[in-house]
Amino acid sequence: LTIFSYYFLEWYSARQSAESLTTNEAKQYETSTPSKENETQNSNQTETETETTLQPEESVQIPASKVNHQLGDKVAYLIIPKIQKKYSVYWGADDKVLKKGVGMFVSDLTTTPSGNGHTVLSGHRDTVFTELGQLKENDQLIVEYENKTYTYKINKHWITDSEDRTVIVEKSEPTLTLTTCYPFDYIGDAPDRYIIESSLLSIR
């Protein structure tokens, strides 16, 4: 009973790091990014604003390993409008951190959203990322980090072996990748990993 209570508390704690959004709240996040039509109508203005925002950091990527956060600290929020969820994101992706909720991978190959490179967020399928399978190409992922909002568009998803580490690589363009174990309904240590890759649309 004691062991069961311990694991239940861990599971419950991780689940609490995910906040449900109302339909209106989710729409506010989604519609805050210009639509394709608006992007076309305001292309010159949008391009100018984007260049102004990104140009200073464009040639320099700052690895997450060089960023001064403490392991386990809450550093960001991940919002997924499609499934109406907002997740607390913690620094690191080891077992201890992932028991708290979603973790931001820290390495020489990955960056924070402001690092202009590859940001990787991981989470357990049975606590926080239970609904990732509902996401499709062109759905939006949003990260709030250090007083800025980064909006990404999903490009693709795939399934790979749980030991495959080729997902953790450098990217020349700002990229957000979500990873979790797969199958979602598997009991025990799942044999595969579910990957979602997205590209940066805007920064506010």
Q: Retrieve residue 162's tokens.
A: 């749980």
Number of structural domains (the chain) is 1
CA 44 to chain centre: 29
- Catalytic site residue 157? no
Q: In 10 A of CB 51, how many CB atoms?
A: 10
Least confident among 14-18, 108-112, 132-136, 146-150: 14-18
pLDDT in tens, 2-47: 554 544 444 445 655 788 878 888 888 875 544 444 444 444 444 4
Q: Which domain range does residue 21 map to?
A: 2-203
CATH code for the domain of 154: 2.40.260.10
pLDDT in tens, 45-67: 444 444 334 444 455 899 999 99
Residue 88 has pLDDT above 70, yes or no: yes
More confident residue, 181 or 58: 181
pTM recorded for the entire structure: 0.80
The catalytic position among 69, 118, 124, 157 is: 124
- Catalytic site residue 69? no
Q: How many Å apart are CA 171 and CA 61, to the nearest integer?
A: 10
Q: Is 170 helix (H, G, I), strand (E, B) or coil?
A: coil
Q: Residue 102 contacts by C-beta under 8 Å, 6 or more apart in sequence?
A: 17, 78, 87, 88, 89, 90, 121, 122, 123, 128, 129
Nearest to 120 by CA among 84, 171, 83, 158: 171
Cα separation values, 79 from 8, 27, 141, 176, Å: 25, 11, 6, 12
Instruction: Give the dihedral of Cα atoms 135, 54, 27, 12; nearest 10 deg.
Output: 60
Q: What is the DSSP letter of 125?
A: T
Sign of the Cα pseudo-torsion (156, 41, 171, 92, in order): negative
